[in-house]
Amino acid sequence: MSGSHKNSKIVTIGLIQTAVSADIAENMTKIMQKIEEAAHRGAQIICLQELYRTRYFPQKEHMDAAPLAETIPGPSTEAFSKLAKKHGIVIIAPLFEEGSDAKFYNTAVVIDADGQILGTYRKIHIPHDPYFYEKDYFTQGKVPYKVFDTAFAKVGVLICYDQWFPEAARINTLAGADIIFYPTAIGYIKDHTSDDGDWHDAWRTVQRAHAITNGVHIAAVNRIGEEGELEFWGGSFVCDSFGAILAEAPTNREEVLVTQLDLAKNKKVQEGWGFLQNRRPDTYQPLIENVQTSTGRCGAKTCQAQGFMMPAEWDHHDAIWLSWPYDPLTFPDRVERVEQTYVEIVQEIHTSEEVNLFVIDESTKTKVIEMFRQAGINLDLVHIHVSDYADVWFRDYGPIFVRNPQHELAMVHWDFNSWGEKYETLLRDKQIPDVINKKLGMPCFKPGIVLEGGSIDVNGKGTLLTSEQCLLNSNRNPTLNKQNIETYLSEYLGVHNFIWLKRGILGDDTDGHIDDLARFVNPTTIVCAYTEDPNDEDYEVLQENYELLSQALDQDGKKLQIIKLPMPRLMSDEDYRLPASYTNFYIGNTKVLVPIFNHPNDKKALDILQELFPTRKVVGIFCGDLVYGFGTIHCISQQQPSPHP
C-alpha cells in the first residue's frame, strides 16, 4: 500500500450501477467488465452496489438463501483481488457472506490496490419492513465501525439502511474517513403510495446532510430495475463535503459513474463550519439512554410489553461471555490452575459460538492471547475486552439477554448487590452490563430490583424455575413479596408460570441459586440434584426439591419429567463443604460443558446428561479448583442468544 493519499488530495472514484439477473455468473461477468471500464476511465476507487451478484432476495420472508452466500476469501474476492492488482485500483465489493461462524452477513469487503484484502465491514443496522425482511437473513455486524486506509484515501463503508443513521456517518468521520461509500439496494414498492413523501428525495437528502454536517465526501451506489415487487430507482450519486452533487446516474439505466474528488475541501469545510471541534459529547448521553434503556417499576414499557422473552439456554447462541480469573482471594493458591480451566472451557466452546472475554488489563490480555495460541484456539473467534471488574461470576452480574419475534435482541440489567451485600469489594461489578451495552448498543431494560442470573432458569415456553431462599430473601428485595417478584419476572423475562423450590445446598453463598439445584434440559424435562445418602447434609433439602418438582406443572398444566442427577460430596482442604453440583453445566451450541471433580459420580452424571442431550457432545471439565470460589461453569458464563432461534 503506497499511502500516496498523504501527499495528494485529488482522487477519482467509480460507482457501478446495474440491473441484476437471477444468474450469478452472468452478474459477475457484467461487473468485471464494468470494473475494467471504470479503471480505463481513470477510477482509482471503485464501489459496487449492495449484494452486487444476487437479486434482492430479502423481499421474501423465510427463504433458504444459503446457496446464494459465499465466503471471504471466496469467488468474488479472488476475482477482484486479481483485477485490483492488475489495474492498481481499490475495489469495494458488497456481498452476501457466509462467515466462519456459520452465520450470514451483509458484508462489504475492501481490496487494496495491491490485491490484498484490507478488511470487511458487516452491515450494522438491519431493517425488517415489508419487502425488506433483512433480519430473516443477516446477522447484525458488530462495532467498531471501520475506516480503511487505502492506497488513495481513507474510506468508510456503510451499507444501505446505515445511511439513515447520522451517528454512523459521524463515527466514520471521527475515525478519519475522507469518503464514505454507501452501497445500496433501495427502491419503490410496486403499486404503493407513501403518505410520508418522496422516498427517493429523502434518501438523497439524508446523505447530502451527512456530507455537510461531517465535512466529508459521500458516494452512494444503487441498483436499478424491477425485481419482484420492488422497483429500484438507481440514481447513484457523489456529493462533495458541503453536499453539492458532483455526479449522478440516471434512474432508468445502468451506469458507470466516474468522477474526480478534491478531498482538500473536507478540511476547509470542517474547519470553516466547526461541526466537529464544537461538538459537545458531554451532553449526548441521552442519545444512548433514551433510546436504548427502558427503566422504571412494573407498569412502565417493559420487555414483555414489547414482545421480548428470555430464550431457553439450548436455543442457538451468538456468543458466550466470561471474565478472566485473577483474584487470589477468590481462588487461594489456585489462580494459575483456574486459568487453565478457563483455557479448556474456551477451547471446547469457541468453535461453535464466539467468546467474549473480559480481562483486567493489557498485560493480562497479552498473557491470555499467548495461552490461547499455545492451546490452538482460533483467536479470530475470541474477543477480548479490557475493563475493570472485581470477579468472575458473570452469570450473576452480567445482563440477561431477551429476544422478540422480530429477531431483535435486548438486555435486562438487574441490580447486583453481591448476593445480599456479602462482599463489598464485588459491588463494582454491577456496572458490567452498562459496559457491554456500550459495545453492543442494544435496547437495555432496567427493572430496578436485585436479581442474579444463576437464581433462575427458563424453558423458553413460559415457565421459570427458582428458589424461595434466594428470591424472597430479605437481603435482596425486602419490600417485595412473591407476587411482586413474579410480576417483575413476567414483565422482564416474558414468563407466566413459576416453579418455586425452597432451599439450596450447603456451602452455596448465593442463598440457594437454582443452577446448583435443578435445570431444564428441554421444555418438558428437568434434571434435579439428588442424593440417596441419608447421612449427607443436603439429603433433606434435595429430597424436598425432588418432591416439589415431581408435583410441578409446566405452562400448559402438564407434569414435567424429573431426572435425578447424583451429587459429588466435595470437601475443601480446610474440611468445609464446597458447593459442587453437576447441574452447574453450560449448554452450548454443540457441546454441554459439565463440571467434574475427580469423583466416582462424575461418569454417572456425564452419562445421564449425554442421554438427555443426544445432539450435543457432553464434555466434562475438571472444576476442582474453580469450585473454591463457590461456583463453577454456569456461574462464570452468560450466553448471548442469536436473534434467529
In the chain, the domains with their CATH numbers are: 10-278 (3.60.110.10), 299-641 (3.75.10.10)
Q: How much of the chain is helix, strand and coil, in % rounded to 5?
A: 30, 25, 40
Order of strands across the sheet that contains 525-530 = 518-522, 525-530, 561-566
What's the CA gap between 490 and 309, in Å, rounded?
Answer: 9
Give strand ranges (E) for 53-163. 90-98, 104-111, 117-122, 147-149, 154-157
pLDDT beyond 70 at 221:
yes
pLDDT tens for residues 397-422? 999 999 999 999 999 999 999 999 99
Nearest to 464 by CA among 430, 481, 488: 488
State how far the Cα of 200 lies from the Cα of 249, in Å rounded to an integer: 13
635 among known catalytic residues: yes
Choice between 301 and 499, residue whose per-residue pLDDT is larger: 499
Q: 3-state class of 580 per DSSP? A: coil
* Average pLDDT score over the chain: 93
Residue 140 has pLDDT above 90, yes or no: no
- Predicted confidence band at 129 (pLDDT cuts at 50, 70, 90)? confident
In this prediction, residue 4 carries a pLDDT of: 41
Cα–Cα dist 140/162, whole Å: 11
The reported pLDDT for the residue numbered 299 is 37
pLDDT band at 288 (very low <50, low <70, confident <90, very high): low
- Tell me the C-alpha distance between 5 and 149, whole Å: 9
The span from the CA of 452 to the CA of 475, in Å, is: 13
- 8-state DSSP, 310: P
- β-bridge partners, 117: 111
Instruction: Quote the CA–CA distance of 166 and 182 in Å, as a whole number.
Output: 13
> Average pLDDT for residues 368-382, to the nearest whole number?
96
- Smallest Cα–Cα separation from 453: which of 503, 403, 411? 411
Query: Which are the contacts of 531, defined by CB distance < 8 A and separation ≥ 6?
Result: 538, 539, 542, 566, 567, 569
| Pair 45, 11: CB distance under 8 Å | yes
Q: What is the mean pLDDT of residues 579-601?
A: 97
Beta bridge partners of 467: 501
Question: What is the band of 142 on the pLDDT scale with cuts at 50, 70, 90?
Answer: confident
602 phi/psi in degrees, rounded to 5: -55, -50
Q: Which of the following is catalytic: 239, 303, 528, 635?
A: 635
CB proximity list for 427: less than 8 A, separation 6 or greater: 390, 416, 417, 418, 421
Residue 489 CA to residue 39 CA, distance in Å, equals: 60
Residue 209, classed as helix, strand or coil, is helix
Task: Check: CB of residue 493 under 8 Å from CB of residue 306.
Answer: no
Q: Give the type of residue at 374.
A: Q
pLDDT average, residue stretch 19-36: 96
Strand partners, 155: 148, 179
